[in-house]
Structure 1
Amino acid sequence: MSKGLNIKQQKAVETTEGPVLIIAGPGSGKTFTLVERIYHLITEKNVAAENILVATFTEKAAQELMTRVSNRLHDTGIFFNLNEMYLGTIHSICLRILEENREFTRLKKNFMLMDQFDQQYFLYQKMNQYLQLSNIELIISERSSRWKNAATLLQWINKISEEMLNVEKLKCSSELQIQALGFCYELYQQHLEEENALDFSTIQLEAYHLLQEHPEITEQLSEKLQYLMIDEYQDTNTIQEEIIFLLAGKRQNICVVGDDDQGLYRFRGATIRNILEFPLKFEKGQCKQVELSVNYRSHPMIIQFYNQWMQQNNWTHEGKTFRYDKKIEAHEGLHPHSRTVVKVSGEDGLGNWEEEVYQFLISMKEKGQLTDWNQVAFLFRSVKSSKVVALANYLEERSIPVYSPRSNMFFEREEVRLLIGAFMFLFPQFPHVRKWNDHAHLPEWETYDLYLREFADELRNPENKELLKWCQRRAQKHMNLQQNTDYSFASLFYQLLQFDLFNRYLEQDSYKVKDSRAVRNLSLFSKLLTKFEYLHRVTVFTPKTINNHLTTFFNQYLRFLINGGINEYEDESEYAPSGCVSFLTIHQSKGLEFPVVIVGSLDAVPRKQYSDLDEILQQGYYRKEPFEPLDQTKKYDFWRLYYTAYSRSQNLLVLSCQENKSSGRGSRNVPSKPFAESYSTLKSWREIDTIFDLDLEHIKDMNIKKEYSFTSHINIFESCALQYKFYKEFEFAPVRQGATLFGTLVHQTIEDIHKSALRGEESLINEGNIQDWFNSNYSNLVIRERVYLAPQTQAAALKQVLKYVDRQNNSWSHIKEAEVDVSLVKDDYILKGTIDLIRGENDTVEIVDFKSEKKPDMARDSDILNHYKRQLEVYAHLVEERTGQTVSKMHLYYTGEENSSPYVSFPKDTRSIDQTITTFDKIVKRIENKDFSIKERPIKHCGNCDIRFYCDKKL
């Protein structure tokens, strides 16, 4: 038996052939078992990395799994390139498959991937076209705003994609509402194709179409992917199940892992039937089942509490049971003899809930074993409710920091309010131009005016005298703009950072979330500004456009963000930042564990989550008959939700509410009826002194390995560590992101040429096709980057490509691989690069890196060449370590060189490579240690740097 595995876990690890269903209860060591299963495939069955697919529920879970498997292999001295595994969310794996086979899809290079806000804004901007469709009023309301209608449309469009509904069948329906839905979806797909865009839902749909329409690709993938593992299978949807079975091919080595009791994502299209019916997909007895039911996480009393919670609900309806029969057991060992499920509640009629919670926390800190606030997590149905926000504010006012990234508090934060106030001050004409008629009024205007007053109050402070003068000059200029500026919103934002009112938020030494929240919010604001400028093609203010840009920015873009709510920065490297109690939704907490869990929202009741239109679609248009009875789903989902919440707790589970036993008109009993039985058995924390003696666990360190490349990380850090801190660590968005369009265009067209050669299609490499590839790349880059090249500049770029082809004399046999993404999992990080390889002598390979410029002077520009040489040495290290091939030479190819040889070549020097990698390791260590200090300002890099205004004042 492998180290630390129990008998059931061992069975799950060693059962590798054919379909396997692993029902993994909470705290049953699921991730540990998955790690050992992957390790077993690699070490005992000699399975290669590219033959394994592991789908996780979140990217964070994928990163954690990658780190843990890599550490497991490292500890036993096994070298293995894990990064070649298909490891990630189902969405990210589908995206990888699409990118690897893009030429067989509707997608062109440089396609735009939209998040939910982008998608809704995309629909909003094109809403007039949807309003022209017949019977559209049956889908969206004429009385609702265009923004709300865009949200409604988005919901239905995503549902059609996720359920793979037949659009032709929808369009031909006798029901006008269904017809309208079909035509909406058809128009939306047309818009996506025109914009070369992809949204989150259609990633999977495009992958499904690719696999269905190109059986040769499906066969190739299923031949490669010999073992599939799908985590959180209870939260997969219809299309995901279809894709998984297509990829599994004839082998059907599918291992699905999950817990039907924790199925939470019906609202996103997930269906519990996937896990409950999984064994029925195969011949009787073919699917092997393993149940992991020993809980290593929670105290036995907590386990007993949530087992009883599930038993309260009736899971059988009309003779059919909608739950695997299971009972979670506590692991053997010594457990404290204390009550570990208690209540912390305000008494009926006293309204003292917030104070009671505060007193409980303080007592746990002063009398108990609580050493860090992050050992406590509050779980709610929503963290946006007024009661939850009031509790968070109450605790923060009493010096208990709250980490609640999804509470929609972004626009309430001081630094964001002051920024919006500053923009209001800088454009004094906005109050006059914002109205589109005499009766128009938006409630957000009052918010803007409030923020303006707060900013004006700050300007009255003598310490902000310099800022006041600067703002007055700018405001006067904008009010009577006579000529084009050389900036817009994002550039103004960076100029504001030079003043103490804003740069004080940047002057923090701690990188803990509670200390860096303000600077993270400033970073997020920079992204919102650059996104606006991208969506509306804004580069500068002009006398003609300034007023239109202002009304669009404030009346639409910023207003929608405020209404929809923005999540604050969420730390990807740790789920419970030190120094804060966490306020999370129950959905957010899935897969996590905390020593002390406080479950709120005890006023909730089961709620219907489907509409009449949902019912029509499910009954008549879904690919399968409904599974669970619709009228029971609200109860099933409610019980699963709170089961998930209760089972997050390790040492102490707390139920918390403001009790209300009044049955007066309009009031509701709290706790509500579903909780009454469980809650009635609990004692108040004040009655149980032994809770202060509990040995509380500490939050586990996720220790996720991060990815680093020479160009995206080392290059920036060596140029200016402070620049790295802003753009990479804090992720501020640079104003100008399309400056490398010329080089990208040359690179991508050469890549098309190489890939044609590698497919054995040398005959297609002619001037006409090259021109087509070039034009296609340019038009798609323009759509994505919103940056243009002058005709003569386009001609110069094309000339470089044609010159390169001419120099090859129709000989392409030396091309081995083109634009290959290579990665290497190292002890402390993952090294990445993108490489072109050509064939060398004696079965060696040579590396080529293309530069779209003239060859530098070998003597005068030796520093530049040495920098590029080090980049090539990193690539050589990657190739040799990853593939085992020997690199013999390294080349720079200057496509802009016309007179002499375009090559600058370097022999491979192992000692020099070792030195370069050692330097790389040291820089990564500095980055991971948050050491961004600089001895002196690197002036040559300051000219186009957005943070130069800040540095001018501070350095």
Structure 2
Amino acid sequence: MNARYNPSELACALGLFPPTEEQSAVIAAPPGPLVVIAGAGAGKTETMAARVVWLIANGYAEPAQVLGLTFTRKAAGQLLRRVRSRLARLAGVGLGPVGDAAAEPEGAPVISTYHAFAGSLLRDYGLLLPVEPDTRLLSETELWQLAFDVVNGYRGELHTDKTPAAVTSMVLRLWGQLAEHLVDTGQLRDTHVELERLVHGLPAGPYQRERGPSQWLLRLLGTQTERAELVPLLDALDERMRAEKVMDFGMQMASAARLAAGFPQVGEDLRARYRVVLLDEYQDTGHAQRIALSALFGGGVDDGLALTAVGDPIQSIYGWRGASATNLPRFTTDFPRSDGTPAPVLELRTSWRNPPRTLRVANAVSAEARRRSVAVHALRPRPDAPPGTVRCALLPDVVAEREWIADQLDAHYRRARADGVSPP
């Protein structure tokens, strides 16, 4: 299919600024898998919305065939509002769906969080696992209270001097890690035995005075043994949650991943329903999310599916809760074309938010990070950007840092008010 409208023509028809060459390449990329490395302030959300509009205007999909996933409800709401407003303008100039089809719930794009999407999968297909459709999602507080109750009621042997609250925290930390990496307690149960055999069978190091494992290896073994001791508590928590028909976010995503990977018909249904899929902040997805998404939309089974992932490894913020730094570089092979070639990679490198001086500092600080996993080029300022100002201070402690930053913001605000301009 040949496109009837290019990105600049659509922007002009909608009364918007024309996209840059970088943005146009992303917006008008043909259907198929695509990963976009978008730096901070590079117009990611605007470009994603413009891509949806371009695909719909050129007949590749209807509004109801659009699925967008992101991490927060705020981000999902912003993207949905932007897409809907563009589609309404498109209909107004006669280039899009006629009437209010895109505004009605059954005819509108679906933009949600990754976890909300996982929940919808389990409601629609969960009985295949089986997971009851009426399973309730626990808040963090409810999960902690339930786990604490399980720990308090445990009558088995536990070699620790930690308090029940501390043990509860350990159980929940391990519970989340197992769910994120799709590991069950059966796999964890005896790992310390094999690890102990390996550790005690290692030869002494070249500079080791005493025979036997080093203190570092013994601490490693102790940690794994402690984890194995928690297995009965993990099993008890799992039984309790299933009996009460409740789950937490980690269990929800792990169940969705097992569902997607184990039942190919789920992916077939979704690919028939959605012809445009946007995966936002892909650098912050975890292992379970990667398994679910690649099973549903990857594997090179449908080149007509316009699947676009957007991410920036420099902006990864969820490593502490299981986000995998390797997911972004793996995208090209997790979501290949039907002939097996890796998905193409495009970049958005122009920062519309930051002035040149700020970018020079940021690029220097992030140089090492940009060489890891996915090669990320330095950001560049927009052509007409003012130079900006960079201020640095070496202060004795964090309290002084906070006060200095507050003083700088206050002075900036007061200068703007005195000059009669709107404060930033």
Question: TM-score range with shorter-chain normalisation?
Answer: 0.7 to 0.9
- Which residue does 1:59 correspond to in 2? 73
Aligned residue runs from structure 1 range 427-442, under 5 A: none
What CA deviation, in whole Å up to 9, does each residue of 1:214-249 have, x standing for no partner? 333332223323332111111011110111111115
What CA deviation, in whole Å up to 9, does each residue of 1:742-762 have, x standing for no partner? xxxxxxxxxxxxxxxxxxxxx
- Which residue does 1:305 correspond to in 2? 361
3-state DSSP of counterpart to 2:391: strand
1:222 and 2:271 correspond: yes
Q: 1:113 to 1:24 in 2, by over 3 A?
A: same
Amino acid at match of 1:322: S
1:48 CA displacement: 2.6
Aligned residue runs from structure 1 range 406-805, under 5 A: 698=424
3-state DSSP of counterpart to 1:126: helix
Name which of 386, 389, 398 aligns with 1:335.
386
Could you tell me the TM-score, scaled by structure 1's length? 0.36
Could you tell me the TM-score, scaled by structure 2's length? 0.77
Distance, in Å, in 1 between the alignment partners of 2:302 and 2:130 is: 30
- Which residue does 2:289 correspond to in 1? 240
1:231 and 2:295 correspond: no
Q: 1:285 to 1:211 in 2, by over 3 A?
A: closer
Q: 1:28 to 1:188 in 2, by over 3 A?
A: same
Distance, in Å, in 1 between the alignment partners of 2:401 and 2:369 is: 32
What CA deviation, in whole Å up to 9, does each residue of 1:253-299 have, x standing for no partner? 43210001111211110011010232243377541111100111111
Amino acid at match of 1:28: A
Amino acid at match of 1:293: R
- Which residue does 2:377 correspond to in 1? 326
Distance, in Å, in 1 between the alignment partners of 2:364 and 2:169 is: 39
3-state DSSP of counterpart to 1:26: coil
- Which residue does 1:369 correspond to in 2? 416
Distance, in Å, in 2 between the alignment partners of 1:88 and 1:354 is: 36
Distance, in Å, in 1 between the alignment partners of 2:260 and 2:385 is: 53
3-state DSSP of counterpart to 1:61: helix
Name which of 3, 11, 18 aligns with 2:25.
11
What CA deviation, in whole Å up to 9, does each residue of 1:394-434 have, x standing for no partner? xxxxxxxxxxxxxxxxxxxxxxxxxxxxxxxxxxxxxxxxx
- Which residue does 2:141 correspond to in 1? 117
Name which of 82, 87, 93 aligns with 2:117.
93
Q: 1:222 to 1:353 in 2, by over 3 A?
A: closer
Distance, in Å, in 2 between the alignment partners of 1:285 and 1:695 is: 53
Name which of 101, 124, 146 aligns with 2:164.
146
What CA deviation, in whole Å up to 9, does each residue of 1:814-864 have, x standing for no partner? xxxxxxxxxxxxxxxxxxxxxxxxxxxxxxxxxxxxxxxxxxxxxxxxxxx
Amino acid at match of 1:287: A
Q: 1:180 to 1:68 in 2, by over 3 A?
A: same
1:162 and 2:180 correspond: yes
1:334 CA displacement: 4.8
1:211 and 2:260 correspond: yes
Distance, in Å, in 2 between the alignment partners of 1:46 and 1:71 is: 19
Amino acid at match of 2:250: S
Q: 1:305 to 1:353 in 2, by over 3 A?
A: closer
Unaligned runs of 5+ in 1: 372-692, 699-955
CA RMSD of aligned residues (A): 2.8
- Conservation of the 8 A alpha-carbon contact between 2:363 and 2:379: yes
- Which residue does 1:262 correspond to in 2? 315
Q: 1:362 to 1:267 in 2, by over 3 A?
A: closer
Q: 1:358 to 1:271 in 2, by over 3 A?
A: closer
- Conservation of the 8 A alpha-carbon contact between 1:73 and 1:80: no
What CA deviation, in whole Å up to 9, does each residue of 1:440-479 have, x standing for no partner? xxxxxxxxxxxxxxxxxxxxxxxxxxxxxxxxxxxxxxxx
Distance, in Å, in 2 between the alignment partners of 1:245 and 1:297 is: 33
3-state DSSP of counterpart to 2:366: helix
Distance, in Å, in 2 between the alignment partners of 1:354 and 1:89 is: 33
Q: 1:156 to 1:695 in 2, by over 3 A?
A: farther
Distance, in Å, in 1 between the alignment partners of 2:70 and 2:164 is: 36
Q: 1:697 to 1:280 in 2, by over 3 A?
A: farther
- Conservation of the 8 A alpha-carbon contact between 1:87 and 1:93: no
What CA deviation, in whole Å up to 9, does each residue of 1:145-194 have, x standing for no partner? 22222122111101100100143222243254454344443332211110
What CA deviation, in whole Å up to 9, does each residue of 1:23-53 have, x standing for no partner? 0011110000010111122221341344322
What CA deviation, in whole Å up to 9, does each residue of 1:638-659 have, x standing for no partner? xxxxxxxxxxxxxxxxxxxxxx
1:344 CA displacement: 5.5
- Which residue does 1:81 correspond to in 2? 102
Distance, in Å, in 1 between the alignment partners of 2:326 and 2:420 is: 40
1:109 CA displacement: 5.0
Name which of 6, 14, 36 aligns with 2:50.
36
- Conservation of the 8 A alpha-carbon contact between 1:171 and 1:183: no
Q: Which moved more, 1:108-117 or 1:11-20?
A: 108-117
Q: 1:697 to 1:260 in 2, by over 3 A?
A: farther
Q: 1:123 to 1:70 in 2, by over 3 A?
A: same
1:25 and 2:39 correspond: yes
1:65 CA displacement: 0.7
- Conservation of the 8 A alpha-carbon contact between 2:150 and 2:237: no
Computing the radius of gyration from Cα coordinates, the structure with the larger value is 1
- Which residue does 2:325 correspond to in 1? 272
Distance, in Å, in 2 between the alignment partners of 1:270 and 1:131 is: 35
Q: 1:103 to 1:165 in 2, by over 3 A?
A: closer
Extract structure 1 runs of 4+ deviating beyond 6 A.
693-697
1:118 CA displacement: 1.2
Distance, in Å, in 1 between the alignment partners of 2:39 and 2:355 is: 15
1:127 CA displacement: 1.1
Distance, in Å, in 1 between the alignment partners of 2:24 and 2:178 is: 41
What CA deviation, in whole Å up to 9, does each residue of 1:547-585 have, x standing for no partner? xxxxxxxxxxxxxxxxxxxxxxxxxxxxxxxxxxxxxxx
1:194 and 2:218 correspond: no
- Conservation of the 8 A alpha-carbon contact between 1:258 and 1:275: yes
- Which residue does 1:72 correspond to in 2? 86
Amino acid at match of 1:214: F
Q: 1:50 to 1:190 in 2, by over 3 A?
A: farther
Q: 1:62 to 1:16 in 2, by over 3 A?
A: farther
Amino acid at match of 1:290: L
3-state DSSP of counterpart to 1:23: strand
Aligned residue-pair number: 361
Name which of 338, 346, 352 aligns with 1:290.
346
- Which residue does 2:212 correspond to in 1? none
Distance, in Å, in 1 between the alignment partners of 2:62 and 2:20 is: 27
- Conservation of the 8 A alpha-carbon contact between 1:55 and 1:230: yes
The sequence identity of aligned pairs, in percent, is 21
1:206 CA displacement: 1.6
Amino acid at match of 1:89: T
- Conservation of the 8 A alpha-carbon contact between 1:229 and 1:255: yes
1:124 CA displacement: 0.4
Distance, in Å, in 1 between the alignment partners of 2:423 and 2:360 is: 20
- Conservation of the 8 A alpha-carbon contact between 1:232 and 1:259: yes
Q: 1:364 to 1:38 in 2, by over 3 A?
A: same
Q: 1:289 to 1:198 in 2, by over 3 A?
A: same
1:130 CA displacement: 4.4
